[in-house]
Amino acid sequence: MDEQARLGPIPERSQPAIVSRSKRVDAILGRDWRVAIPFVLPIVIIMAGLILWPFINAIQVSMTTRNVITRTDQFVGLDNYLRLFQDYDFRSAIGNTFSFTLFSVAIKFVVGMGIALLLNSRLPFRSVLTGLMLLPWIVPEVVTALTWLSIYHPIFGGLNPILMQLGIIDRPVAWLSEYAMPSVIAVNVWKGIPFYVLLLLAGMKALDREHYEAAEVDGANAIQRFRHITLPGLRYVIIVTLLLSFISTFNTFGLIYLMTGGGPGGATRVYSILAYEKAIISLRFGPGAAVAFSMAPLLFLLIFVLARIMRRDPGITGREKESFMDRVLDMTGRWLGVVLDLIFLPFEWLAQAFGSLAKLVMPRDNTGQPRRLKRSERERLGVATRLTLLLPFLIFVLFPFYWIVITSFKGTPQIQQMESVFWPNPWTTEQYRSLLFDTPFVTWFRNTVIVATSSTAISVVLAALAAYALSRLKFLGAGTITTLLLVTYLLPGSLLFIPLYRTLTTLGLINSYAALILTYPTFLMPFATWVMMGYFRSIPEELEEAAMIDGATRLGAFWRITLPLAAPALLSVTLFAFTNAWNEFLFAFVFITSDSLKTLPVGLQLLVFGDIYPWGQMMAASLLMAVPVAAVYIFAQRFLVEGLTAGSVKG
């Protein structure tokens, strides 16, 4: 006998009260709050347990210090932060961080803009050239570091022979000792160029060509068209790209650590490396957390501005457009315009001088006047000029891949004796046989597959559920969760690895698969959810409503109707999540200490014994690690672009 039968029928006067109470609850929590709970609860639990709580705990830890005698943590307030200003290592690390970030971002923007402009023009095989320029994006960070370590090596590297043959240098240079900071900046630029090219090129394709044609008719040269049409039209894309790049570059850890370890003599020690040294190596969690969180105000300001821009609706008018943030952005834009005018003024003078010089050397007609080139001649000249300008960038992007391949097929004596530097003679698979049978490479590969597959499956499933609820259902807190997802995606790992390390140690999960499988979703889920939200919004709701009229539940309509239609976005976020899990270095480096559990990004550095670098094995391992990611992107490129584009545009 159920409860209702035991108590008897509800009095008629009570029924309106229950209905009224239910309506009041729905008015407060939203009409769909009951349905939304199972969709969003898993991701909320993970965000609260693995991001919010560790973050709060890290703030507490940063205000403590370890008592060596009692082995207990003592609360010291802001003393750890105050001591930082007297710490030479900290001041030096902050200076290195800003130098590395500002130079890297500036060079990546200029180079990326130049390549995007060239690829946006008429070029033969433009799709192929664009694909080649994007290759560094999919290369794992550890592969990038090991490859450039090999190229920079003063004895066995490929850079010194090239520069000596060109007469640029007269002796071998120890690049990572004498020019450590410029060298790692160059590698960061190589790795980051595709990000700028991809976003800027997408923005250029959306610009109206009629504006360029009208400006050309009015006599504007290429520099003037770029300054007054391209740059204003790309303002939103440029701001978002620069902010995303600044946040990512500012928190770089793996690339620099793998190449220099922060040396020599702290020359490339950035703040994330200093935080790792203090917290994990020295086990001084309080000072280490203070180092990491000393930059939190700046990062949160940038994240807030970026989140505000990315969630801004251009169609909103009135009071929203007069917000303080909009006024700040408009003022920033005006000042940036003044700076750009000053920067591009010499280039405009140079373009005018070049035009005058070109008229002097152009062929003359019978009257002695410069002969006007035919349209076909101008087009051929333009294509030749653009290809000539693109060639140095193409060589810069492709040379590391060429170096990986040829080094991996050289024998060890050939590498050591520097014979036939730029071509294997003879070709041999010795390095691959040695790698597969004499090292734990297969074990590292297996560990990476287990961790990447498991964390990707968890992240994509939970992201799809949460994205559906946030894009379809009406409930209290949906907007807040959406904003927090973006903030979480932008939150750097350098702020989380210390508290997560303590949390995993407390739970007894440190040095296990679970340590990585549980923590990887913290940076995989937010982006996947953001993209899936945009794609779900592009699917007509009428399809789900028809299914529910026929008796399907909300979950049933999601599973049978919406999810199959969102297959491109689902595949794209799966590829993105798998790639990031496959390449992740910081968490795997900090949370795993057992050699039998290490993943590929961490395991490859174990091939080095002291100062002995088995370059052949390392390049073979790098190639084998990069091949799965490259193969996935090649076979699923169409779905990847379709899913990410729909999510980013409609999200």
CATH of the domain at 453: 1.10.3720.10
Residues 602, 463: one domain? yes
511 in Cβ contact with 591 (< 8 Å): yes
Do 441 and 565 fall into the same domain? yes
Q: How far apart are CA 120 and CA 101, in angstroms?
A: 27
Which has more confidence, 329 or 513?
513
Backbone angles phi, psi at 613, to 5 degrees: -110, 110
Number of other residues whose CB lies within 10 A of the CB of residue 49 = 13
Using CA atoms, how far apart are residues 429 and 353, in angstroms rounded to an integer?
55
Alpha-carbon distance 429 to 410, whole Å? Answer: 8
Q: Domain count of the chain?
A: 2
Give the residue with greater pLDDT, 241 vs 444. Answer: 444
For residue 146, being part of any structural domain is answered with no
Q: What is the pLDDT of residues 473-529, one digit of tens each?
A: 887 877 778 777 777 777 777 778 888 888 888 888 999 999 999 999 988 888 888
| Confidence at residue 638, expressed as pLDDT on a 0 to 100 scale | 55
- Cα-based distances in Å from 314 to 320, 321, 501: 10, 9, 42
CA distances from 335 to 230, 330, 340 (A): 17, 9, 9
- Read off the pLDDT of each residue in 589-601 and give the average, rounded to a whole number: 90
Quote the pLDDT of residue 100: 96
Q: Which residue has the higher pLDDT, 23 or 247?
A: 247
581: domain range?
32-55+431-611
393: in domain? no
- Whether residues 479 and 579 fall in one domain: yes
Same-domain pairing of 574 and 463: yes
Token digits of residue 644: 């990410």
pLDDT attached to residue 377? 65
Q: Are residues 445 and 561 in the same domain?
A: yes
Q: What is the mean pLDDT of residues 237-265?
A: 88
Higher pLDDT: 382 or 298? It is 298
In a domain, 441, yes or no: yes
Is there a single domain that holds both residue 439 and residue 332? no
Final residue belonging to a domain, choices 341, 358, 375: 358
Distance, CA of 598 to CA of 178 (rounded, Å): 33
Which pLDDT value is given to residue 317?
Answer: 45
Mean of pLDDT values over 245-270: 91
330 vs 536, higher pLDDT = 536
Q: What is the CA radius of gyration of the chain?
A: 28
Do 333 and 461 lie in a common domain? no
Instruction: Based on the fold, state whether residues 340 and 482 are members of the same structural domain.
Output: no
pLDDT at 91 over 90: yes
Same structural domain for residues 348 and 443? no
Q: What is the DSSP letter of 370?
A: B
Using DSSP's 3-state secondary structure scheme, residue 355 falls into helix
Rounded Cα–Cα distance for residues 518 and 51 (Å): 11
280 falls within a domain: no
Label residue 651 by pLDDT band (50, 70, 90). Answer: very low
**Whole-angstrom Cα distance, residue 577 to residue 154?**
37
Higher-pLDDT residue of 150 and 21 is 150
Query: Is the predicted pLDDT of residue 644 greater than 50, yes or no?
Result: no
Identify whether 153 is part of a domain.
no
Higher pLDDT: 639 or 161? It is 161
Say how many CA atoms lie within 13 Å of 204 toward its Cβ.
21
Residue 41 lies in a domain: yes
Helix, strand, coil percentages for the chain (3-state, nearest 5): 75, 0, 20
Of 314, 334, 358, the last residue of a domain is: 358
The distance from CA 246 to its chain's CA centroid, rounded to whole angstroms, is: 11
Alpha-helix runs per DSSP H in 417-477: 430-438, 441-472
Instruction: Please give the Cα distance from 550 to 616 (Å, whole number).
Output: 63
The upper half-sphere exposure of residue 562, i.e. CA atoms within 13 Å in the direction of its Cβ, equals 31
Whether residue 213 is contained in a domain is answered as no
Tell me if 502 is assigned to some domain.
Answer: yes
Whether residue 269 is predicted with pLDDT greater than 90 in this model: the reply is yes
Residue 261 DSSP SS3: coil
